[in-house]
Structure 1
Amino acid sequence: MTMSEFVGEVRESVHRGHDDLLSAGLGLDGLRAKSPAFADAAAPTADELRRRAIHASWNGIADLGPLGGYGRVYGVVPNVPGREYQAFARVPGARSPHRVLLQAPDAFDARARCLVVAASSGSRGVYGAIALAGAWALPRGCAVAYTDKGAGSGYFDLDSDTGVALDGTRAARGTAPLEFEPARIAAARGVAIKHAHSGDDPEADWGRHVLQAARFGLAMLDRAYPAQAPFTAADTRVIVTGVSNGAGAALQAAGLDADGLVDGVVALAPNVHVDGGRPLYDVASEAAQLLPCALTDARFDATPFARTEGAPPPAWLARCAHLRERGLVDGSDRVAQARSALDRLRAGGWDERAIETAASSTRFDLWRAIAATYAASYLRATPATIPCGFHYATVDARGAPVAADAPTRAAWWSDASGIPPGAGVSLLGGVDASADPTALGIDCLRALWNGDGAAAHALRASVSATAAKLPRADLPLIVVHGEDDGLLPDAFHARAYVGALDAAARHPAYWRVPNAQHFDAFLALPGFGDHYVPLLPYGYAALDALWARLVDGAPLPPSRRFATTPRGSGALERAALGLER
């Protein structure tokens, strides 16, 4: 990696004693507790921000609830002392940087030199893969390189003209290199989001972000362990892994790895786009439009999050009438309209399990939030030109946009998920005063996928640029996906990707997990975790299997479908996972 790829300096920090690499000294009990407080809410220190960011990243990915089994059935959170090396890097041609970070444990295993590389899940900040990659790699003496893959929580506040510096604290434009700095826009107000407003199509570069993070990691290993330098792909095992968007980035990297940098990949619930599948924007915009109506069908009466006090949300009932008026569903009454919406979803490849689980994403309004952010990204929008009238801002008690105060701004880097709403930032616009207020913006977002206008053509071209290429034939690869995934249904993503590999006479290990959905963190919610098993244990098991393949020469494990059992109202037990045969 050349110095021209860096933006600014590399920051080194030491993390030992009560501030380690894996949990910032919180340990499992501290990760389970409420978010760590700042001594001064308006001006937290870099150490405080890091600790809270790690806490948020763990709780955004793992089920740490009392019934979930973490630390008892699977997973450990030991104290891992070491150092971090962090920088802003830029892939060729990109306007905005991505954040890269290496965690170098003091107990690095010099006999089995290992670098695990991971991109954040979702649009999270740079620690967004720590619960998978860090938890597996650091305790065994591997170093870990992370990237936020051009998204992240480095929000820019247009009212104060401030962004996020390398140490996580806020800085004014022009005073320090920033994680994200949009062009000046006259009279602009509100919040600019890196994923939405970077000026790039970061998803098209996810694989390049991962490969650049790998090269950064190897270069920083030279600094961390000079007596063992140099570190190269020839003498250091490089494993790439990730969850969700991070897994999609891992598979993109595998397809771009012409130099043989990567030794193996584990992709967990990947958001990956190949011919024969359906890209996320297509799925999310369709789900935002049709699922509210479809989920009013009586078959979902017992589905978690599908009912409020025994009845569907009123806006969902209104959606059926709205879709009928637009000719998108058939039927003279709400029952027939819900059945028609279900039929349309099934015709598009949705199955019953994914639809049922998607009630949670529908209730939390995730589809609209995802589609709005991705539409802005694909169309390279500025904060003033987000399609469909959307924009981001903090709001007052009445919901009116206001300038963010200092404590709200200060916590964005540690607390935000990278896609509002959340951490005090709201998604505004695209609504009206009807009984189904969000339908206006959702119809517009859907038209960007199936319409004929210039914006729709531009958006589809950007989505096409995100398609993953197939990896080299001899790359060890394990793909894991939950069969009940309601956010990234496996039929559209993992199954389509594996099918493309099979058609090319390449046969990865494909692990299907019944009774597993997308968000392990949701399993701690009352009444939801009863129905599912966590996905994270299979990620750890797949990494164990890949390690055995690379280090011991064991064969790659076969594709399989696990015999799982929902945990019910009690605590998760190992037998429910079906990992042993």
Structure 2
Amino acid sequence: MPVNDTFGDVRITTHRDNDDLLSAGLGLRGLAGTATRFVQPASPTPEELRRRAIQSSWKGIADLGPRGGFGSVYGSIPHVPGREFTSFAYLPGARASHRVLLQVPDEFDHERRCLVVTASSGSRGIYGSIAVAGGWGLPRGCAVAYTDKAGGAGYFDPADRTGVQLDGTRVRAGSAPLEFEPQGLAADAGIAVKHAHSGDNPEADWGRHVLQAARFGLAMLDRAFPHEAPFTAQNTTIIATGLSNGGGAVLRAAGDDKDGMLAAVVAMEPNIHVRGGRSFYDYATEAALWLPAALSARQFDDVPFARVGAASPPAWMLRGAALRAHGRLTSLMPGAQAEEALAMLRAGGWTDEVLATAASSTSLDLWRAVAVAYASAYLKRDAAHMPGGFSYRLQHAAGVAGPIDAIVRAAWWADGSGVPPGTGISLDGGTDLSLDPTLPGVLTLRDLQTGHGADADQLRAAVDATAAELPREGLPILIVHGAQDGLIPVAFSSQPYVKWLRDAGRTPVFWKVPYAQHFDAFLAFADFGDRHAPLLPFGYAALDRAWAHVAQGRALPEDAAVRETRPRGAGPLTAATLSLPPN
């Protein structure tokens, strides 16, 4: 084990009886229900925060609704008692820590030692991948190691100098080690978020985060079962898996794994960047700029969620006129402006079926929100100096500070996505008083990608540092991606990555799933879910195939377009609808 691994104090908790590792004792019905309550809303206990964090992580990834098929067509949430080991971890050269967590089931398979290592999707907290890695690994007796890859909702509020300690509760700086504790921030600087404001470029280290989590997992297995130590990559099968940013992280780990720790990698809808290809920041800022104007086109008339919140910024009906005023479009009439914006997107490689689901991210203002956080991270800005004049601000109830603020802050760690706005935090700045007030900030973000100057050069260099490295020969890699993914389009991520691997003589397995888009959790909504298929069951199936290969010597499956998969339709999901690739 490398000597440069550094971990803080390890917190060990036991989860049995009315509690467990997989659902915090809630079971499928409880996970799918309303948010769990805190007895004292302003001062929840660590146990209450953990339960709600696990619940929100499940609901953010999986469709647990009655028509979603979880627990009947695929997956299960059995009671899995066991122990958790958690710590703050430190990478050499990084300013901020990140969380690592190992879940060890009481029914750990001692005969076939298995460690699943995973990274959170998006910028979620430490339980962000429990629906992916925990849902597959814990029921089969594997230990599961998690990393938040330097994201998470351990937000720091400089107004009262509070942050999150290891057990998830909020305390004042100086009273305990904090998940994130920036220095020198003025009280009015706004809320500080680790992904955006750590002063690191955490995305550049995603692979190292995953590998360090694997080493933490092995070290904690030594503690859990000292009579069986040491646990090593030679006597314990280590499978890395993740979804979205987590999927990108495990592919990055595959390229960084010089010591051969990983036995297999399964990546679902990965945010992965190949040198010379398009980065997430590139196409996210492109979508933030052009898609609001394109939504006026008739092809979006019957697309679910395409025009939700049309009266709120960004005002899509006015974006075309605003872009023309800024010299970005030439057409005079609204319909022609929409078609011109649509043509710009198509020229960039966006297909119509992908744009249909990308529209939902536009109506939720997701493109702008994520681009702000990424730009701040790439430029290594603190909370008071975000690019474009952006900041994160506490939303006071009725505009007046009061006791409710403490209640909101107390729930951040459990409820926050790691990228505001949300959970009582607003995204401020980057606006003007025009009829399309968010456009100035979007132009600033886009110009950091396409423009000139020191900031643009720094941002592009930071993005280059996130490009994947080539994995070792013979490492089994399985990639599962939805054909209609509108957030991480397959044409910009998995397809160029798979081509790059194959050009270099590697043999990844690639499943492209028709009708699957990025957010399985959205399938619980009528109409939207009727038109799409879930991705998570294909991810579980790919993990099954990877395990059969490394543990039983079975051949890897072939590539599959999964041609027989159909949209779920108005009824409940069925096995026939999924048509999973054969074993």
Distance 1:307 1:100 in 2: 39
CA–CA distance in structure 2, aligned partners of residues 402 and 442 of structure 1? 33
Pair 1:419–1:31, CA change in 2 (3 A): same
Deviation per CA, 1:212-268, whole angstroms, max 9, x where unpaired? 000000000001111211100110000000000000000000000000011100000
Tell me if structure 1 keeps the 8 A contact 2:86–2:100.
yes
Consecutive unaligned residues in structure 2, runs of 5 or more: none
Alignment match, 1:567 = 568
CA distance in 2 between counterparts of 1:288 and 1:173 reads 37
Q: Which amino acid counterpart does residue 572 of structure 2 have in structure 1?
A: A
Measured after TM superposition, the shift of residue 72 of structure 1 is 1.0
Amino acid at match of 1:531: R
Q: Distance in 2 between matches of 1:415 and 1:425?
A: 12
Q: Indicate the residue corresponding to 1:300 in structure 2.
A: 300
Give me the whole-angstrom Cα distance separating, in 2, the residues matched to 1:122 and 1:580.
27
Check the 8 A contact 1:83/1:105 in 2, yes or no: yes
Q: Tell me the SS of whatever aligns to 2:491.
A: coil
CA distance in 2, matches of 1:282, 1:10: 39
Structure 1 residues 222-301: aligned runs within 5 Å:
222-301=222-301
Q: Which amino acid aligns with 1:352?
A: D
- Residue 215 of structure 1 pairs with residue 226 of structure 2: no
What corresponds to 2:169 in structure 1? 169
Residues in 1 aligned to 2:81 and 2:313: alpha-carbon distance in whole angstroms? 49
Aligned-partner Cα distance in 2 for 1:312–1:374: 23
- CA contact under 8 A between 1:210 and 1:253: conserved in structure 2? yes
SS at the partner of 2:443? Answer: helix
SS across alignment from 1:101: strand
Q: How many residues align?
A: 581
- Rounded Cα–Cα distance in structure 2 between residues aligned with 1:169 and 1:311: 38
Aligned partner of 1:551 in structure 2 is: 551
CA distance in 2, matches of 1:164, 1:553: 45
Relative to structure 2, which stretch is displaced further, 503-512 or 210-219?
503-512
Are the aligned partners of 1:190 and 1:401 in contact in 2 as well (CA < 8 Å)? no
2:131 aligned counterpart, secondary structure: helix
> C-alpha separation between the residues in 1 aligned to 2:374 and 2:57?
21
Equivalent position SS for 1:551: helix
Per the TM alignment, residue 32 of structure 1 is displaced from its structure 2 partner at its CA by 0.8
Tell me, which stretches of 5 or more residues in structure 1 are unaligned? Answer: none
Distance 1:81-1:456 versus aligned 2 partners, 3 A rule: same
Number of the residue aligned with 2:476: 476
Residue identity opposite 1:505 in structure 2: G
8 Å Cα contact 2:371-2:445 kept in structure 1 = yes
Distance, in Å, in 1 between the alignment partners of 2:533 and 2:466 is 31
| Cα 1:150–1:284 shift into 2, 3 Å | same
Contact 1:190 1:403 survives alignment (8 Å): no
Q: Separation in 1 of the partners of 2:3 and 2:171?
A: 23
CA distance in 2: counterparts of 1:287 and 1:53, whole angstroms: 30
Q: Name the counterpart of 2:344.
A: 344
Task: Determine the C-alpha separation between the residues in 1 that align with 2:180 and 2:493.
Answer: 30
Distance 1:279 1:147, change over 3 A: same
Deviations 1:381-422 (A, max 9, x none): 111100001100112356688897211111000000000111
Describe the superposition over 1:5-32 as per-residue Cα deviations: whole angstroms up to 9, x where unpaired: 4353100000011110000000001001
Tell me if structure 2 keeps the 8 A contact 1:330–1:336: no
Deviations 1:447-478 (A, max 9, x none): 11111011111111111000010101100010
C-alpha distance in 1, partners of 2:524/2:406?
A: 31
Give 2:433's aligned residue.
433
Q: After TM superposition, give the deviation of residue 435 of structure 1 in Å.
A: 1.4
For residues 527-546 of structure 1, the aligned pairs below 5 Å read: 527-546=527-546
Partner of 1:329: 329
> Which residue is 2:514 aligned to?
514
1:307, CA displacement in angstroms? 3.3
**Are the counterparts in 2 of residues 238 and 264 from structure 1 also a CA contact under 8 Å?**
yes
Equivalences for 1:81-96 in 2 at 5 Å? 81-96=81-96
Counterpart residue number, 2:388: 388
TM-score (norm 1): 0.97
Deviations 1:496-554 (A, max 9, x none): 10010111121200000010000011111232111101100011000000000001101
Whole-angstrom distance in 2 between the partners of 1:84 and 1:441: 42
Query: 1:576 is matched by which residue type in structure 2?
Result: T
Q: Who is 1:370 aligned against?
A: 370
Closer/same/farther in 2, CA of residues 398 and 452 from structure 1, 3 Å limit: farther
Letter in 1 for 2:573: L
- After superposition, the C-alpha distances for 1:23-54 in whole angstroms (9 at most, x for unaligned) are 00000010011111001011111100000000
State the 1:445 CA deviation. 0.6
AA in 2 matched with 1:424: G
* Partner residue in 1 for 2:29: 29
- CA distance in structure 1 between the partners assigned to 2:453 and 2:20 by the alignment: 52
* CA displacement at 1:311 relative to structure 2: 10
Contact 2:292 2:314 in 1 (8 A): no
CA drift of 1:322 comes to: 1.3
Cα separation, 1, equivalents of 2:357 and 2:187: 43
1:158-197 mapped onto 2 (5 Å cutoff): 158-197=158-197
SS of residue paired to 1:470: coil
The corresponding residue for 2:45 is 45
**d(CA) in 2 for partners of 1:218, 1:32:** 32
- CA distance change for structure 1 residues 498 and 323 in 2, over 3 Å: closer, same or farther? same
Indicate if the aligned counterparts of 2:115 and 2:237 stay in contact, CA closer than 8 A: yes
Structure 1 stretch 427-436 or stretch 30-39: which is displaced more? 427-436
Q: What letter matches 2:39 in structure 1?
A: A
Alignment check: 8 A CA contact 1:394 1:401 kept:
no
Q: CA deviation at 1:74?
A: 0.8
In the TM superposition, residue 4 of structure 1 has moved relative to its aligned partner by 6.4
Letter in 1 for 2:532: Y
Shift of 1:3: 8.0
Per the alignment, residue 141 of structure 2 pairs with 141
> Greater CA deviation, 141-150 or 292-301?
292-301
Question: C-alpha displacement at 1:186, in angstroms?
Answer: 3.3
How far apart, CA to CA, are the structure 2 residues paired with 1:382 and 1:35? 32
For 2:250 and 2:403, the matched residues in 1 are separated by: 38
Q: Deviations over 1:84-135 (max 9, x none)?
A: 0000001110000010000000000011100000000000000000001001
Amino acid at match of 2:166: L
CA distance in 2, matches of 1:417, 1:462: 23
Could you tell me which amino acid in structure 2 is paired with residue 577 of structure 1? Answer: L
- Give, in whole Å, the separation in 1 of the partners of 2:304 and 2:313: 13
Task: Specify the code of the residue in structure 1 equivalent to 2:16.
Answer: R
TM-score in terms of structure 2 length: 0.97
Task: Answer yes or no: is the 8 Å Cα contact 1:306–1:312 preserved in 2.
Answer: no
How far residue 166 of structure 1 moved from its aligned partner, in angstroms, is: 0.4
What's the CA shift string for 1:346-385, capped at 9, x where partnerless?
Answer: 1111111111111110011100000000011101111110
- State the 4+ residue runs in structure 1 displaced beyond 6 angstroms: 309-314, 400-404
